[in-house]
Amino acid sequence: MVELCVLYDKVRFEEKSIYDKALKKGIKARMTDAKSITISTANKRKELALGDVILQRSISHFRGLYLTACIEFLGFSVINKFQVGQICGNKLLTSLTLAKHKVPTPKTYFAFSSAAAMEIINSTGFPVVLKPIVGSWGRGVYPLRDEEVANMIIEMREENDSPLGRIYYIQEMIQRPPRDLRCIVVGNEIVAAVYRYSAENEWRTNVARGGKSEKAPITNELEDIAIRAAKAVGGGVLGVDLMEDAQKGLLVHEINNTVEFRGASSVSNTDIAGAIVDYSVAVVKK
Amino acid sequence: MKKECQDCGAEINVPDDALVGEIVTCPDCGADFEITTKTQNTVELKPAESVGEDWGQ
């Protein structure tokens, strides 16, 4: 019998739902605290009791990413793979991967000094969006609407101690409705799609920023783009985020490798946790 | 199950269906604790990790 291991560092709605669903389906499941695992280069797979397939669900991106590298080294199947986490956890790599695979995505510029970043901003004109290349829950994402604010934000980034803070990711601002789309992709299927509306006085749509979810129709265009985006980064269980541009249509701006689906679950009729469990078991049986 | 808050001594209620790894919050002082072990009659808590810069998606 296949044993599913949910690796967590903090049990949220999502991890609990996946674990409960596996047990309800009669699948052997375990919850393992990522913070408690140690691994050495001399370890063998049989020395770690992590089941047959592992769902990497750590809330800390880097903990999840590097632990995945270690357990893949031991020969375990991990959902999602290290390569997928590496691309999705980095907006610069995600944009390059999407563009390389011809998945529609907002036009994005990269600069490697504050002076070069200001040069880009002055040549593209306003508004533009400045994002950190590694970051989550919308932290550090700024709409730049005039030169004065742009100068201040770039200066702030320049003074930041983080070397990654000095890599500048500047994106065209999409004239979108006050919402974006989150698609939960499991393998080759979209299992749920929701609109995420910005909270009052908030431009970002993250649920962590108070954004509200509403069920969205899964159109052929949405299905085609979301699946192509998921495949481009290596596939698995992913949250593909898209914006609606009046002229260009749907544009993928982010892909989440440890997708949060509490908001989507509350408005969707699909059993998201159940689909994730079925997919994980099928991965072992392949 | 009830547990005393390690910070302020108030009573924290740990729901029966809570799993090891879940976070419970003290209703008085707001401190977060992670459930480390849980049996039918006992529960152990430790201070939860604070939100990291790389948390979430």
Specify the CATH number for the domain of residue A192.
3.30.470.20
Provide the pLDDT for residue A22.
98
The predicted complex's ipTM stands at: 0.80
Structural domain includes residue A91: no
Residue B12 has pLDDT above 80, yes or no: yes
What is the number of domains present in chain B? 1
Structural domain includes residue A202: yes
E strand or H helix at A241, and its extent? strand A237-245
Q: Do B52 and A256 touch (CB under 8 A)?
A: no
Distance from CA of B5 to the nearest CA of A (A): 19
Q: Which residues of B touch A61 (CB under 8 A)?
A: 54-55, 57
Structural domain includes residue B40: yes
Q: Do A137 and B55 touch (CB under 8 A)?
A: yes
Closest of A202, A107, A120, A112 to residue A157, by C-alpha: A112
Q: Is the pTM of this model over 0.95?
A: no
Q: Does A262 touch chain B (CB under 8 A)?
A: no
Residue A43 dihedral angles phi and psi, to the nearest 5° = -65, 150
**What distance lies between CA A158 and its chain's CA centroid?**
26
Which residue on chain A is closest to B17 by alpha carbon? A16
Structural domain includes residue B6: yes
Q: Do B53 and A139 touch (CB under 8 A)?
A: yes
Domain identity same for A209 and A256: yes
Output the domain CATH number for residue B15. 2.20.28
Q: Does A180 touch chain B (CB under 8 A)?
A: no
Q: Could you give the CA distance from residue A233 to residue A229 in angstroms, rounded to a whole number?
A: 7
A vs B: CB pairs below 8 A: 52
Distance from CA of A35 to the nearest CA of B (A): 10
Domain identity same for A75 and A131: no
Tokens of B46: 């430790």
Domain identity same for A135 and A79: no
Structural domain includes residue A77: yes
| 3-state SS assignment for residue A78 | strand
Output the domain CATH number for residue A30. 3.40.50.20
Q: Which residue ranges in chain A fall short of pLDDT 50?
A: none
Domain identity same for A49 and A122: no
What is the number of domains present in chain A? 3
Structural domain includes residue B53: no
Nearest to A60 among B19, B23, B54 (CB): B54
Q: Do B21 and A10 touch (CB under 8 A)?
A: yes
Domain identity same for A261 and A202: yes
Quote the domain boundaries for residue B34. Answer: 2-47
Domain identity same for A189 and A256: yes
Assign B57 a pLDDT band (cuts: 50, 70, 90).
confident
Q: Could you give the CA distance from residue A45 to residue A96 in angstroms, rounded to a whole number?
A: 34
Quote the domain boundaries for residue A213. Answer: 175-282
| 3-state SS assignment for residue A88 | helix
Nearest to B57 among A11, A35, A239 (CB): A239
Q: Is B9 left (phi over 0), alpha (psi -120 to 50) or beta?
A: left
> What sign has the CA pseudo-torsion A285, A85, A183, A139?
positive
Q: Do A8 and B52 touch (CB under 8 A)?
A: no
Q: Does A258 touch chain B (CB under 8 A)?
A: yes
Output the domain CATH number for residue A123. 3.30.1490.20
Residue type, A8: Y
Domain identity same for A80 and A118: no
**Final residue belonging to a domain, choices A172, A195, A225:** A172
Provide the pLDDT for residue A204.
78
Q: Rounded to the nearest 10 degrees, what angle do helices A220-232 and A91-100 cross at?
A: 110
Question: For residues B31 and B47, is the Cβ–Cβ distance under 8 A?
Answer: yes
Domain identity same for A202 and A275: yes
Provide the pLDDT for residue A159.
87
Q: Which residues of A touch B44 (CB under 8 A)?
A: none
